[in-house]
Amino acid sequence: LLLDWLVICYFCFGRALFLFCVRVSVLTPLKLVGLVCIFLALCLDLGAVLSPAWVTADHQYYLSLWECCRKPANVDIWHCESTLSSDWQIATLALLLGGAAIILIAFLVGLISICVGSRRRFYRPVAVMLFAAVVLQVCSLVLYPIKFIETVSLKIYHEFNWGYGLAWGATIFSFGGAILYCLNPKNYEDYY
C-alpha cells in the first residue's frame, strides 16, 4: 500500500511531491489507536452528559446531571426539577464538561497533527491534555457519589446506572489514549 502511494506520487505529481511523500513518516499504530481511544472517550462523554440515568431507584427516582425526578409509589405522575440549583451537581457537571472540552481539543490537535504530518511534536501536548482531562473527570466521578449519598436520603434501594458508567468509560479511554501518546516514538517509529 505504501509502495503504491509512492508510485502514484511520483508519476502523477512529479519529483517534488514524490520527495515530500518520501519524507513524511508513516503513522505508527499506537498513535492511531490512541486517537481512536480519544474519539471513543468523546463519544462516551457525550453519552454520559446526555444520559437521563446516573442514579435510579426502583422506578420511583432517577437523577441525571440535568434533572432529578421522583414518583411516589401510589401516583403515576413524575415530579421533575433541575439539578443545577445544587453546588455539588454544578461542580460535577463543570468538571465533567471541562474534561470533555479538553478531550475534544486533544482529539482535534491529534487529528490535525496526523493530517499535517508533523506528528512528533504534538505527542506530548496531547498526552498532557489527556492526563489533565482524566484528573478533572476522576474528580467529578468521585465527587458525585460522595455528595449524592451525603445529601440525598432515599429510603429505597438505589444504584448508579449506565450514565455514570459511561463517564467512567470515557475516563478510562482518555487515560489509555494518554498512555499511548506518552510512549516514546523514537524507540519504535523507525521500524514502521
Q: What is the pLDDT of residue 52?
A: 86
Q: How far apart are CA 51 and CA 35, in angstroms?
A: 24
Chosen CATH of 27-191 out of 1.20.140.150, 3.30.70.270, 1.10.357.10, 3.30.360.10: 1.20.140.150
Residues in the chain, overall count: 192
The pLDDT, as a whole number, for residue 187 is 55
Of 91-95, 133-137, 153-157, the one with minimum mean pLDDT is 153-157
Q: Is pLDDT at 148 greater than 50 in this prediction?
A: yes
Quote the CA–CA distance of 117 and 119 in Å, as a whole number: 6
Instruction: Name which residue leads in pLDDT, 175 or 62.
Output: 175
Task: Give rounded-to-5 percent helix, strand, coil for the chain.
Answer: 70, 10, 20
The lowest-confidence range among 6-10, 95-99, 137-141, 181-185 is: 6-10
| Per-residue model confidence (pLDDT) at position 192 | 45
Q: What is the pLDDT of residues 11-57, one digit of tens each?
A: 555 454 444 444 444 556 777 888 899 999 999 999 999 998 888 88
Please report, for the chain, the start and end positions of each structural domain, with discontinuous segments joined by +: 27-191
Q: What's the confidence (pLDDT) of residue 84?
A: 86
Q: What mean pLDDT, rounded, does the chain reach? A: 80
pLDDT for res 1: 45
The model's pLDDT over 86-132, given as tens digits with 9 standing for 90+, comes to: 888 899 999 999 999 999 999 999 888 877 766 677 888 999 999 99
- Residue 59 backbone dihedrals phi, psi, to 5 degrees: 55, 25
Which triple of cell numbers denotes residue 53?
Answer: 440515568
